[in-house]
């Protein structure tokens, strides 16, 4: 039996909210300003990284990990770190010199995670083995929120959206036979990333899946639980940085009683799948989340064979209220309930599985298996 490591760190589960912390990153080495891409007022790269006239990302290491796995060390000033890693699961027949390309599934890690999480905690290698698909699992930071950081209005590094979509993506397409048919999925913070990328870049991804995603950063708990901004602030304590570096301040009704004081709420909304839900129209969507009740476990496991049993549709019980055993998933439940309602209001279809469950890997692997056929259909794999 393999150790199931939680997404926000190694070893036993930490108390509190590191798994839902939407914000923050341990300080990295300073990068000269001349090496950073230019940014528009809303944080989108407007300089070389955005236009692709110059891609500052470069591969500094290739490390084979078995026959079908390759780790790449990437250096880019946009990450504000010396090296960030990306793990590739390679399809049959792949080589850097192949005459063809392969469709791509991006898998995004959660808070505190890295590029090894999916292979360490799930059977994704076996799941993808029979598919004609390249799986890309990038490392960001433990609290990146897959966002370009506001940094008091100066922007600059880290700029995770720019790095992944405008630097790493074209690098893989140029040198590692990644095709232009793409799908994206992620857990917790990665669920936020998967849906916010899909909304921000309509047409870039053919399908998107979120497992226990932190999909509503401006969520207000109606009954005394944590709200979205609370999680950002607690994440800042965990990561030892100023929480305002990520998206600035959310303004009313969170830190002020003045309805006119919205501060940088526009940026919180720009990075919110719920607020940008209209831009998800036309993309096949999969949402799964638990209610915070963990009695009985997921009721599913991979088993001993090479292929898993299909998760039963009966697992999706659609609990009418949240539980209290897992406070992280309790908040995730509220966030996803509101996103689900917004999608319905807009007439945007989505496959939704709301179930009893907590914020842990056994549930996420179950939902990866359940959503995998949808993701592969979208890719034609």
Please tell me which residue, 304 or 11, carries the higher pLDDT value.
Answer: 304
The yes-or-no verdict on residue 236 having pLDDT over 70 is: no
How many CB atoms sit inside 10 A of residue 306's CB?
11
Return the half-sphere exposure (C-beta side, CA atoms, 13 A cut-off) of residue 307: 5
Of 287-291, 303-307, 349-353, the poorest mean pLDDT is in 303-307
Of 83-87, 140-144, 284-288, the poorest mean pLDDT is in 140-144
Q: What is the mean pLDDT of the chain?
A: 87
Give the pLDDT score at 32.
Answer: 31
For the residues 229-244, what does the mean pLDDT come to?
A: 79
Of 183-192, 233-242, 357-366, the poorest mean pLDDT is in 233-242
Please tell me which residue, 15 or 220, carries the higher pLDDT value.
Answer: 220
Give the pLDDT score at 44.
Answer: 55
Provide CB contacts within 8 A for 97, sequence distance 6+.
none
pTM across the whole model? 0.88
Question: What's the farthest any 2 CA atoms get from each other in the chain?
Answer: 61
Radius of gyration of the chain (CA): 19
- DSSP string across 319-337: -SS--SS-HHHHHHHHHHH
The yes-or-no verdict on residue 130 having pLDDT over 50 is: yes
Going from the C-alpha of 143 to that of each of 134, 146, 159, 365, the distances in angstroms are: 26, 8, 12, 21
Give the pLDDT score at 40.
Answer: 55
CATH topology for 33-379?
A: Rossmann fold (3.40.50)
- The model's pLDDT over 39-87, given as tens digits with 9 standing for 90+, comes to 455 555 443 334 445 899 999 999 999 889 999 999 999 999 999 999 9
The yes-or-no verdict on residue 38 having pLDDT over 90 is: no
Give the pLDDT score at 43.
Answer: 52
């Amino acid at each position: 039996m393999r150790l199931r490591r939680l997404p926000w760190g190694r070893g036993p589960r930490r108390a509190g909210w590191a798994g839902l912390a939407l914000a923050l990153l341990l300080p990295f080495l300073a990068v000269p300003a001349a090496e950073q891409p230019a940014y528009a007022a809303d944080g989108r790269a407007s300089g070389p990284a955005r236009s692709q006239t110059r891609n500052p990302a470069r591969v500094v290491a290739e490390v084979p990990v078995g026959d079908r796995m390759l780790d790449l060390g990437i250096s880019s000033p946009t990450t504000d770190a010396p090296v960030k890693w990306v793990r590739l699961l390679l399809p049959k027949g792949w080589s850097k010199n192949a005459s063809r390309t392969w469709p791509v599934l991006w898998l995004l890690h959660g808070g505190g995670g890295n590029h090894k999480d999916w292979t360490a905690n799930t059977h994704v290698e076996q799941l993808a083995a029979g598919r004609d698909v390249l799986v890309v699992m990038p490392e960001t930071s433990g609290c990146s929120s897959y966002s370009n950081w506001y940094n008091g209005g100066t922007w600059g590094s880290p700029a995770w959206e720019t790095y992944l979509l405008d630097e790493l993506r074209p690098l893989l397409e140029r040198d590692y036979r990644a095709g232009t048919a793409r799908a994206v999925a992620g857990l917790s913070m990665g669920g936020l990333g998967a849906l916010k990328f899909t909304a921000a870049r309509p047409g870039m991804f053919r399908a998107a899946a979120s497992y226990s995603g932190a999909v509503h950063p401006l969520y207000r708990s109606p009954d005394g639980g944590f709200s979205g901004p609370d999680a950002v602030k607690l994440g800042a304590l965990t990561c030892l940085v100023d929480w305002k570096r990520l998206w600035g301040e959310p303004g009313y009704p969170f830190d002020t009683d003045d309805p006119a004081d919205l501060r940088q709420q526009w940026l919180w909304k720009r990075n919110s799948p719920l607020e940008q839900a209209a831009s998800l129209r036309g993309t096949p969507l999969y949402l799964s989340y638990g209610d915070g009740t963990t009695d009985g476990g997921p009721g599913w496991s991979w088993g001993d064979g090479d292929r898993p049993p299909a998760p039963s549709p009966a697992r999706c019980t659609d609990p009418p209220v949240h539980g209290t055993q897992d406070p992280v998933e309790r908040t995730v439940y509220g966030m996803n309930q509101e996103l689900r309602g917004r999608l319905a209001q807009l007439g945007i279809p989505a496959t939704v599985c709301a179930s009893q469950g907590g914020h842990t890997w056994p549930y996420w692997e179950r939902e990866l298996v359940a959503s995998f056929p949808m993701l592969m259909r979208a890719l034609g794999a």
